[in-house]
Structure 1
Amino acid sequence: MPVYLDKSSNTYFVSKCYADPLTLKSKRLCKRGFNTRKDAIKFESKFNINLRCEQSTNYNIEVLVDMFLDYKKERVKSRTYYDIKKIADKHITPTFKHLGIKDIKPSMIEHWQKQLLENNYSNDYLEAIQGLFSRIFNYCISKEIVDTNPVKIVGFVKNQSKSSRKLQFYTTDQYLKFRGVIDDERYLLVFDLLYFTGMRISELQARTWSDLNFDEKSLTIHSNYDCKNHVITPSTKNGEIRVIYLSDDLINQLNKRYTAMKRYKNFDPTKFYIISNLSILSQKTISNNKKYILDSYNGSHPDDQLPKIRIHDFRHSHVSMLINSEVDTFTIAERLGHSKQMVENVYGHLFPSKKKEILNVLNNVQLTPQTAT
Structure 2
Amino acid sequence: MPCYKDEKTGTWYCQFRYADFTGKRKQKRKRGFKTKREAQEWEREFHLQKAKSCDMTLASFVELYFNDREHHVRDTTMDTKRNIFDTKIVPLLGNRKMNEITALDIRDWQQRIKEMGEATGLPYSETYLYTIHAQLTALFNYAQTFYGLRFNPCDASGYMGSSVAGEMLIITKDQYELLRKEFRNEAYLLAFDILFWTGCREGEMLALLPKDLTDDDQLRIYKTYHRKKGQDIFGPTKNSKKGGNRNVPIPHWLAEEFRTYCSRLYGLTPDDRVFYMTCTALNKELTRCTQLTYLPDIRVHDLRHSHVSLCIELGYSIVLVAKRIGDTVPVVMRTYAHLYPNKQQELVSKLEAIGSPTSNNDDSDLMSLG
Range class of TM-score, shorter chain: 0.7 to 0.9
Deviation at 1:290, TM superposition (A): 1.7
- Residue 242 of structure 1 corresponds to 246
- Residue 3 of structure 1 corresponds to none
What does residue range 145-164 of structure 1 map to in structure 2 within 5 Å?
145-158=148-161, 164=165
Residue of structure 1 aligned with 2:284, choices 288, 298, 304: 288
Deviation at 1:185, TM superposition (A): 2.1
1:255-290 deviations in Å (ceiling 9; x for gaps): 2112212x43xx32102x223xxxx31112122222
> What TM-score do the two structures reach when normalised by structure 2?
0.76
> For the Cα contact (< 8 Å) 1:133–1:151, is it kept in 2?
yes
- Residue 129 of structure 1 corresponds to 132
Q: Give me the whole-angstrom Cα distance separating, in 2, the residues matched to 1:238 and 1:148.
A: 30
Aligned residue pairs: how many? 311
**Change in CA separation of 1:99 and 1:180 when aligned onto 2, cut-off 3 Å:** closer
Deviation at 1:76, TM superposition (A): 0.5
- Residue 255 of structure 2 corresponds to 251
Q: Which runs of 4+ in 1 moved over 4 A?
A: 48-51, 357-366
> For the Cα contact (< 8 Å) 1:113–1:157, is it kept in 2?
yes
Unmatched tracts of structure 1, length 5 or more: 1-16, 30-47, 299-305, 369-373
**Change in CA separation of 1:157 and 1:187 when aligned onto 2, cut-off 3 Å:** closer
- Residue 116 of structure 1 corresponds to 113
> For the Cα contact (< 8 Å) 1:53–1:143, is it kept in 2?
no
> For the Cα contact (< 8 Å) 1:218–1:245, is it kept in 2?
yes
Deviation at 1:359, TM superposition (A): 4.6
Deviation at 1:20, TM superposition (A): 3.0
Give, as a single letter, the amino acid of the residue that structure 2 aligns with 1:180: K
Q: Give me the whole-angstrom Cα distance separating, in 2, the residues matched to 1:147 and 1:20.
A: 27
- Residue 192 of structure 1 corresponds to 193
Confirm whether residue 349 of structure 1 aligns to residue 338 of structure 2: yes
- Residue 86 of structure 2 corresponds to 89
Deviation at 1:354, TM superposition (A): 2.9
**Change in CA separation of 1:130 and 1:295 when aligned onto 2, cut-off 3 Å:** closer
Q: Give me the whole-angstrom Cα distance separating, in 2, the residues matched to 1:281 and 1:181.
A: 17
1:26-48 deviations in Å (ceiling 9; x for gaps): 9328xxxxxxxxxxxxxxxxxx9
Confirm whether residue 331 of structure 1 aligns to residue 320 of structure 2: yes
Deviation at 1:209, TM superposition (A): 0.8
- Residue 4 of structure 1 corresponds to none
Identity of matched residues, %: 26
Give, as a single letter, the amino acid of the residue that structure 1 aligns with 2:319: F
What does residue range 191-340 of structure 1 map to in structure 2 within 5 Å?
191-213=192-214, 215-228=215-228, 230-239=231-240, 240-261=244-265, 263-264=266-267, 267-271=268-272, 273-275=273-275, 280-298=276-294, 306-340=295-329
Deviation at 1:131, TM superposition (A): 1.2
Q: Give me the whole-angstrom Cα distance separating, in 2, the residues matched to 1:255 and 1:112.
A: 53
**Change in CA separation of 1:354 and 1:269 when aligned onto 2, cut-off 3 Å:** same
Unmatched tracts of structure 2, length 5 or more: 1-14, 28-44, 117-122, 358-362, 364-370
Question: Which deviates more from structure 2 when the two are superposed, residues 316-325 or residues 345-354?
Answer: 345-354
**SS of the residue 1:20 aligns to:** strand
Give, as a single letter, the amino acid of the residue that structure 1 aligns with 2:221: I
Give, as a single letter, the amino acid of the residue that structure 2 aligns with 1:108: D
